Chains A and B, each alone.
Chain A
């Protein structure tokens, strides 16, 4: 279901999951957001792909923590001295917390780039800047074409045996000659492309982008829930429900009902697309049986 979301509601959803946790300043919330992202990632990509990238998500916080404790020496709990520098638990913990936050942002961004396909980007751009949307569409068409063509081009030149042999310097020179030729090719051909655009009336009238997506009830649900939850979470952030102190000592905020509700709300929102996906899959399976 996630990929069927309207670009606008999808954008709202991802803005919420990417940005909101980062502003809570609370490591527990970071962890929660990261775990929810991970669940959605497992639901989106093959498990093996996700498992392979888990190493990064484990190494990254540790790295940032080490880095932070090397540069920051505040904090009351001294672990040990390194070259006369104090290495403190608080600085390490702060680094871990930042790492978790980066993780959470990374994982949601990864989901965003998976679900935000070319046509959705174009839809969003098309509403406020049709020209940019058109350029994006053209770039998305040109990139695979150029990649294919430059391979064919290099191959042909290599087979002609004129370039691509000799010393390293000669080879690099050859590659640039080939690149120059490729450049001529694409510039010349792009002029026919623009002729074809003129022929189909580009610039003749005010351009209006074709809208491929429709706003469904599921989109409305997502939008309302996201906005409600975002509103409540922002209220919590402002009132300091999540505020965590690291220096000189780690002080977690007291457990509060508001914090609890905010957490539940975040879980609900971030689990919504995954839940819808699973229900959809079950329904599909029934149809096939």
Chain B
């Protein structure tokens, strides 16, 4: 994680892009606040995916990792933080890689939303397994996945819902800004 961030630092990035990364990260943290009362149904992943789509891999990764890291300062830091950072970071990077096809067809976006939700849930189950069984344990992992099914469904569903609801307003507004200011 540290190495990735240090590598990203070497690259020269437009000021406006940096500000936009910070803006999107802040926005996804704020969205976690807004939906704090609802378990698992949160727009964070959707916002991270949109960031990756419109601002590129690097932005997607930064936004994902920092959202997990910084929002946990408000919601409780724990051993799960690094896992969340990696999981969200990867969700963002992949969105950046698939940007062109995600933008073209909404169905791809929906599928990606579902996959990202499942991926996130499964990835976090590794954490559950590691800590509850202090080590790799296939049976434990399957048990963890089984108990987390409602969460997995909620993650995937929230991703789809928020991606569909947010994609158009985000796309239009970010697009306007990106064109207007040549980012």
Contacts and interface: CB of A to CB of B under 8 A. Distances in A.
Determine direct contact between A and B, CB below 8 Å: yes
Interface of A: 18, 22, 25, 64, 67-68, 71, 98, 101-102, 105-106, 109-110, 112-113, 116, 118, 125, 128-132, 134-136, 138-140, 142-143, 146-147, 150, 176, 179-180, 183-184, 186-188, 190-191, 193-194, 197-198, 202-203
Contacts of A135: 18, 21-22, 25, 62, 66
Given A139-B25, A179-B169, A183-B169, A188 B177 contact: yes
Interface in B54-85: 62, 66, 70, 72-73, 76-79, 81
A128 B5 contact: yes
9 contacts: A109-B76, A109-B81, A118-B73, A131-B9, A135-B25, A187-B173, A187-B176, A190-B23, A194-B18
Given A71-B139, A128-B6, A194 B133 contact: no
B119 interface: no
A67 B170 contact: no
B15 interface: yes
Interface string B1-22: 0100110110011011011111
Given A71-B143, A142-B26, A101 B131 contact: yes
B139 to A, nearest CB: 7
B169 A176 contact: yes
Contacts of B6: 128-129
B9 A130 contact: yes
A129 B78 contact: no
A188 B176 CA distance: 10
A194 B174 contact: no
From A101, A129, A176, name the one whose CB has the most chain B CB atoms within 10 angstroms. Answer: A129
B15 A202 contact: yes
A132 B15 contact: no
A129 B65 CA distance: 14
Given A135-B25, A140-B70, A110 B16 contact: no
A101 B130 CA distance: 12
Given A110-B76, A186-B27, A190-B23, A98 B132 contact: yes
B131 A105 contact: yes
Contact of A134 (B18, B27, B143): B18
A113 B77 contact: yes
Contacts of B148: none
B30 A147 contact: yes
A150 B34 CA distance: 10
A138 B63 CA distance: 12
B169 A109 contact: no
B29 interface: yes
B125 to A, nearest CB: 14
Given A101-B131, A194-B15, A194-B19, A109 B79 contact: yes
A100 B72 CA distance: 22
Of B2, B23, B66, B143, most buried by chain A (CB within 10 Å of CB) is B23
Contact of A139 (B66, B133, B169, B177): B66
Contacts of A186: 23, 27
A109 B77 contact: yes
A75 B47 CA distance: 48
B165 interface: yes
Contact of A187 (B5, B143, B174): B174
A106 B78 CA distance: 6
B5 A132 contact: yes
B131 A197 contact: no
B16 A191 contact: yes
A262 B82 CA distance: 28
B58 to A, nearest CB: 10
A150 B8 CA distance: 31
A115 to B, nearest CB: 11
B128 to A, nearest CB: 10
Interface string B125-138: 00000011110000
A179 B30 CA distance: 12
A175 B18 CA distance: 28
Most chain B Cβ neighbours within 10 Å, of A22, A67, A98, A139: A139
